[in-house]
Amino acid sequence: MTGHVGRRSFLRGAVLGAGVTAAAAAGTQATAATESLPFHGTHQAGILRQLARQSIVAAFDVIAANRAELTDLFRAITDRARFLASGGTPTSVGITAPPADSGVLGPSVPAGNLTVTLGVGASLFDDRFGLAERKPVRLTEMRMFPNDALDAAQCHGDLSLTVAADDTDTVLHALRDISRATRGAMQVRWKINGFSSPPRPEGTPRNLMGFKDGIANPEGTDIDRLVWVSGGGEPSWATGGSYQVIRLIRMLVEFWDRVSLSEQENMFGRRRDSGAPLDGAKETDIPQYAQDPVGTVIPLTSHIRLANPRTTGTDGSRILRRSCNYDRGVDDNGNLDMGLIFTCYQRDIAAQFEAVQTRLIDEPLVDYISPFGGGYFFALPGVSGPDDHFGRALLA
Amino acid sequence: MSRRVVGVVLALVVVVAGAGFAIWRSTSAEAVGDPVISVSRSACGQGWSDPKPGPQTFLLHNTGSVTAEVDLIDPGTGTVFGEVDGLGAGTTRPMQVTLGNGAYAFRCAPEETDPIVGPTATVTGGDERSGPAVVPVTRNDLLGALRTYQDYVGAGLSTLSDQTGALVTAVRSGERGASEAAWLTAHLTYERLGAAYDAFGDSDGAINGTADGLPGGVTDEDFTGFHRLEYGLWHGQDMAPLAEVATRLDADVHTLRDSFADLQVDPNDLGLRAHEIMENTLEFELTGRTDYGSGTNLATALANLDGTREVLNVLRPLLVPRLPRLSEVDDWIGRTDTVLRSGQRSDGGWTPVAQLDRAQRERINGAVGELTELLAPVAAITEPRRVS
């Protein structure tokens, strides 16, 4: 909480804004196309995929003793991820060992639209593995923003691993399988389970504040320009990868539920029911800020307006958002611990995520959220084929 | 500790026995047309008319009147490729295997009868055999290992009873520091005997139990033994009453030592202990759950590692031809030893696990975790099986 002043001063803007906003109702159509998620490819399939219903986001610390063991670790993760994403019957081991598979998904493992997305953190490029010279040039440790309340135990990590699939058992199975194959080489640093809600009633899924989250995302050729790393002074091994920002953000949902609808909507700049910008009718409508220069319709301090002012100067700071919700237990004061696993991809964290986040410092919404963990990572290029493995070019 | 270890074993057995039936019956890996193989004294292995290489499923149908165990073996070497245990009379269960070129036969072992080997089938046109398969270990094979192990434990108990005697003397003298040192010496000796928990029966609860499951917690009158004494010594309790705790501990240890010659280590336990000792280390020592004040969980973990080494050493002749990753096991025992010792301070004392820095704790957890994974096959491989 940044205190009473911020909340009250915003309240005035909220009332102002709500009074002149046009009502809007038309719904957008969500297309739930079945997706092909091949494990092999130029990029990791988990980055662009439609939001999976279930996910686990975890950071690991590498405890491998040397570069050769680190290479073995990347090979092992690749082998397991390839099997899990493809599905199949686990090897029978006869009387030589306990079963090779946990059996959680039955005798034959279904692919279940599983993706496994692997990222590397800045700490992997310290002096342990002789990789300092190969660090992606824009990779740093996650910085602290003024409204953050970071818990060191839930920040950073040598690796990030995001498993996403249709069902909870599929992602849990995948995490157990990968952990079992890699215990001596990496250990979990922090972990959080996420989920993405079904469209309510249509369009972009909602976050736990009740608002559609992730409506305006780059598409088509913008993806190449804004998401995938290529050139730009980056090491050649990094081509096809993408910078990944993960921010674990607590939502103070009890407090939020005691806030009036108009105030809520003015904080986001969108209608809660439809997701439409406050000057529009449906979620896909583009806000017309030029016609509202002082923010009488969409307040200048609203989340969407600060995050993406839609000017030529800020176009390059757009990010690909892939966030999901989390829910995990109860506080000492009886409040529910739930919120957002904010995740975004970009080719330059400073010029994109941090530029956006800097504009958002002290936005009215900060009174209702509390970022407590996460990290910056570089999502590796995809595994090109059966003979390739994660990080092969990095470690070669 | 014994209650925990026993509990784990029992729970596993129950789960396997209870779940196996329902799961196997609905397995999607079964396909119409999988060969149905008869299992009985009179018709062992009949029904395998078209041997083929690769992954496949046999439906084993017990046509006899008693429960049977079935193995798919190489009749020349006795190597086992697949096993179904406890196949009830009249029931059918699948066996999934991946077969390379060579000779195979089903071996049926109905209860109370000698096993029978069925007709030989020859697989051709596939890959060379490469999958996991092993020559089974029999109870006879384990006798030598058991004898050696029993001697190790017997000698350890003898040492221990001297050390608990010294512990009583120290506590009676009222010197807390000397008592704490004597406590650690004796406790580590006990923790080195890890593999024999089952064989110690109720004694283990009295000697090394925790306050878990006791309604009164650390003040419960049934909380006795090493951890009770540890709690008192490291929480500033009066030494005089603690002398009674030490005396009782010493008496329990002497009783155990004297009765040990009559106790039998179950042949099945030896292999199980090879990974269960370190499973206990992971669960109770590396979490600090058994720390009642001394902060010596890492020293205990090292003693447990010694106990694991002893089990492996007595089993080694059986493991060398059967466990291809045995040298990896040895490597990780060495690594675990090194990383655990990194928690010893220069004055010889031990860092409590909660006070380890994060990187160090992760290395310790990772080494023990990797070791437990590598040790898990030992139990499967050295489970005694009937072959003739």
What is the distance between the alpha carbons of residues B385 and B138, in angstroms, rounded to a whole number?
5
Greater pLDDT, B266 or A283: A283
Residue found under tokens 């957890």: B365
B55 has a pLDDT exceeding 60: yes
* Residue A93 to residues A97, A217, B97, Cα–Cα distance (Å): 6, 47, 8
Q: A98 CA to chain B: closest CA distance, Å? A: 6
Distance CA A148, CA A124 (A): 24
Q: Which residue of B362, B374, B382 is the best one to mutate when testing the A interface, meaning the one whose CB has the most A CBs within 10 A?
A: B362
Instruction: Flag whether pLDDT at A34 surpasses 80.
Output: no
pLDDT of residue A167: 97
pLDDT for B262: 84
**pLDDT value of residue B196:** 58
Residue A33, pLDDT > 60, answer no
Beta strand pairing call for B102-110 and B68-73: antiparallel
- Per-residue burial over B171-195, b = 16 or more CB atoms within 10 Å of its CB, e = otherwise: bbeeebeebbebbbbbbbbbbbbbb
pLDDT, averaged across chain A: 92
Residue among A94, A108, A187 whose CB faces B132 most closely: A94
Q: Length of chain B in residues, anyone?
A: 388
Among A387, A380, A395, A389, which Cα is nearest to A118's? A380
Instruction: Evaluate if residue A117 carries a pLDDT over 90.
Output: yes
Nearest-Cα distance to chain B for A186, in Å, is 7
What band does A35 get if pLDDT is binned at 50, 70 and 90?
Answer: confident
Given its phi and psi angles, is residue B71 left (phi above 0), alpha (psi -120 to 50 degrees) or beta? beta
- For residue B136, list chain A residues with Cβ-Cβ distance below 8 A: 95
A107 vs B contacts (CB less than 8 Å): 23, 27-29, 96
- Asked if A79 is an interface residue toward chain B (Cβ–Cβ < 8 A), one would say no
Residues 17-36 of B with CB under 8 A from A: 23, 27-29
| Mean pLDDT across A82-107 | 93
Chain B residue numbers touching A88 (CB-CB < 8 A): none
pLDDT of residue A305: 98
Residue A292 has pLDDT above 70, yes or no: yes
Residue A349's pLDDT band (cuts 50, 70, 90)? very high
Percent of chain B with pLDDT over 70: 90
Q: Which of A96, A182, A186, A191 to mutate to test the interface with B (most CBs of B within 10 A)?
A: A96
Q: Is the pLDDT of residue B192 over 90?
A: yes
pLDDT at residue A21 is higher than 90:
no
Q: Is B56 on the interface with A (CB under 8 A)?
A: no
ipTM: 0.89
Average the pLDDT over B30-53 and give the result: 89
pLDDT computed for residue B129 by the predictor: 86
Residue-wise pLDDT tens digits, B57-84: 999 999 999 999 999 999 999 999 999 9
Tens digits of per-residue pLDDT, B234-291? 999 999 999 999 999 999 999 999 998 888 888 888 999 988 999 999 999 999 999 9
Query: Hey, is the C-beta of B278 within 8 angstroms of any chain A C-beta?
Result: no
pLDDT in tens, B287-338: 999 999 999 999 999 999 999 999 999 999 999 999 999 999 999 999 999 9
CB contact under 8 A, A186 and B366: yes
Q: Do B28 and A95 touch (CB under 8 A)?
A: no
Q: Encode pLDDT of A233-274 as tens digits.
A: 999 999 999 999 999 999 999 999 999 999 999 999 999 999
Domains and CATH numbers, chain B: 18-123 (2.60.40), 139-382 (1.20.1420.20)
Mean residue pLDDT across chain B:
90
pLDDT of residue B14: 34
Count how many pairs of residues, chain A against chain B, have C-beta atoms within 8 Å. Answer: 90
Q: How confident is the model at residue B3 (pLDDT cuts 50, 70, 90)?
A: very low
**pLDDT at res. A272:** 98
Contact between chains at A103 and B23 (C-beta distance less than 8 A): yes
pLDDT for B201: 78
Who among B23, B83, B358 is closest to A94 (CB)?
A: B83
Q: Write out pLDDT tens, residues B105-133.
A: 999 999 998 999 999 999 999 999 877 88
Nearest CB among A98, A186, A189 relative to B376 is that of A98
Pairing of strands B54-62, B36-39: parallel
pLDDT tier at B197, thresholds 50, 70, 90: low
